[in-house]
Structure 1
Amino acid sequence: MNAPSNSAIADRLRIVLVGTQHPGNIGSAARAMKTMGLSKLVLVAPEKAPDRDTHAMAAGADDLVEAAPVFASLADAVADCQWVLGATARSRRIQLEPLHPRDAASRAVVAAAGGPVALVFGRERTGLDNEELQLCHAAVHIPSDPAFSSLNLAAAVQVLSYELRCALLGDAEGAVERVRTPPPGEGAASHAELEGFFGQLAETLEQIDFHKGRAPESAMRKLRRLYLRANLDGAEIRLLRGVLADAQRMARLAGQASDREKIG
């Protein structure tokens, strides 16, 4: 099978803006993308719909704005993606593999050879929340000056779009070798498949009383990181879900036997 062309890979790179508060920033982000050859803009629950300010700031990138789908949630927006990268300005409780923008872009380009990839940007004032970051495979932090670290949304999109452009024009493979976890390849499980597995895993752990009264959030965060590092494909997800289904069935049978003993 022939490797996809750079233009085909670029078409699989998705810039996702979550909860955008100022319509003008949508246009500025679209312009930043278009100057770097990117065209897939996605909006998640913007506070205000694109308006005149959006198109004024787009400055010729209106086609990206007009074609941008709008989703109610980040999970819906990245459901078909094989790799999701969250742009975050600071360390949070959700522990994700931290990537430099150059390495992140290189990994994104390699991953996009196998399927859609999303680079996710949060709200102008607060960024991505912990639940949204938990949907990401890794995090990217732009190393701005700590004395004045606040970066405009469109500027952040421009930095990552530029790095993606460089990765498309150069040798992405070399930079991928410097990071701990290789990107997913062809046939990798989609985001929706992974989230379905994580949901069933959480239900199973509850049913078998794995947590023993402890809060389940910590264990699930660690398990998510473990499985995300494995870069599972669709067949592996189906195998694991079959194992979980059997565990759930055995837990139900054990519960029914216990109920009969109590009645008897």
Structure 2
Amino acid sequence: MTALSHIRIVLVGTTHPGNIGAVARAMHNMALTRLYLVRPKFFPHEEATARAAGADRVLTDAVLCDSLPAAIADCTLVIGASVRARSIELPPLDPRACARQVLEHAATGEAALVFGPEHSGLSNADLDLCQQRVAIPSNPEFASLNLAAAVQVLAYELYRRAGTHQMAAETLSPPATRDEVERLFVHLEQTLKALNFLLPNNPQRSMRRLRALVNRAAPDQNEIQILRGILSATGRAIAAADVKSDP
């Protein structure tokens, strides 16, 4: 299971069934599957299904709850989406910071993003149940986003960040073992001796400094192979030059 599978979208008091369907579509676009509905006015509803445009599974699996506390009871992080400040002000997160926090918690537990009714947003009582608040930057003269649009923005940030982490994990080469590093040092010293680079009376002085440099760099296995490849090519070039220089 990925971190995204531990993230739920919670809609509180949604009044228009089409918005529920549009949210389901936005979630499905960004690989989010867990929709919780707190006291929706109309659900299930044919307009929700129509607006989902193929994200029917998200609607079918949606969890209906009688209250927000019930919807978030097992969550370790709850973030409310609202441009409204709390009575005890907490600086709002921006969408990227929100995605970072949610994914960090979703790695080991359950996290929720909570959205309020279309016309009024989350109440102060709802926000009091949230540990953080996220606000999507927008035109201050018209700051109210459509419910599905707000979900889409935050879902995109989650998907983008989760995808970046997954891609990094897939493409990152394993760190080099100490044996591989030591073999590099042996190869490096042999090559530098062939180049007459090392001081004859104190060859370990330069090697010690090179060892410190490599250790600070902490090369991975691919990087060790590249360095060994360079040393092998250098050795072949030295051997070819020696052959040419023989009478």
TM-score by length of 2: 0.65
CA RMSD of the aligned region, Å?
Answer: 1.3
Whole-Å Cα distance in 1 between the matches of residues 138 and 85 of structure 2? 14
Quote the residue 1:86 is aligned against. 80
Quote the residue 2:89 is aligned against. 95
Per the TM alignment, residue 47 of structure 1 is displaced from its structure 2 partner at its CA by 1.4
Per the TM alignment, residue 90 of structure 1 is displaced from its structure 2 partner at its CA by 2.4
| Residues 1:122 and 2:122 are matched in the alignment | no
- Give the percent of matched residue pairs that are identical in Structure 1 and Structure 2: 51
Per the TM alignment, residue 76 of structure 1 is displaced from its structure 2 partner at its CA by 0.5
| Residues 1:153 and 2:163 are matched in the alignment | no
Whole-Å Cα distance in 1 between the matches of residues 93 and 39 of structure 2? 26
Quote the residue 2:34 is aligned against. 40
TM-score by length of 1: 0.61
Whole-Å Cα distance in 1 between the matches of residues 113 and 51 of structure 2? 21
Whole-Å Cα distance in 2 between the matches of residues 23 and 167 of structure 1? 30
Q: Is the 8 A contact 1:25 1:57 kept in 2?
A: yes
Quote the residue 1:184 is aligned against. none
Matched residue of 1:157: which SS? helix
Per the TM alignment, residue 171 of structure 1 is displaced from its structure 2 partner at its CA by 4.8
Q: Is the 8 A contact 1:101 1:160 kept in 2?
A: yes
Moved over 3 A (4+): none
| Structure of larger gyration radius | 2
Instruction: List runs of 5+ in structure 1 lacking aligned partners.
Output: 1-6, 173-264
Matched residue of 1:70: which SS? strand
Cα deviation, 1:168-211, whole Å, max 9, x if unaligned, reads: 02259xxxxxxxxxxxxxxxxxxxxxxxxxxxxxxxxxxxxxxx
| Residues 1:144 and 2:138 are matched in the alignment | yes
Quote the residue 1:58 is aligned against. 52
Amino acid paired to 2:86: R
Whole-Å Cα distance in 1 between the matches of residues 90 and 68 of structure 2? 17
Per the TM alignment, residue 97 of structure 1 is displaced from its structure 2 partner at its CA by 4.1
Correspondence 1:137-216 to 2 at 5 A: 137-171=131-165
Matched residue of 1:21: which SS? coil
Amino acid paired to 1:91: A
Per the TM alignment, residue 129 of structure 1 is displaced from its structure 2 partner at its CA by 0.5
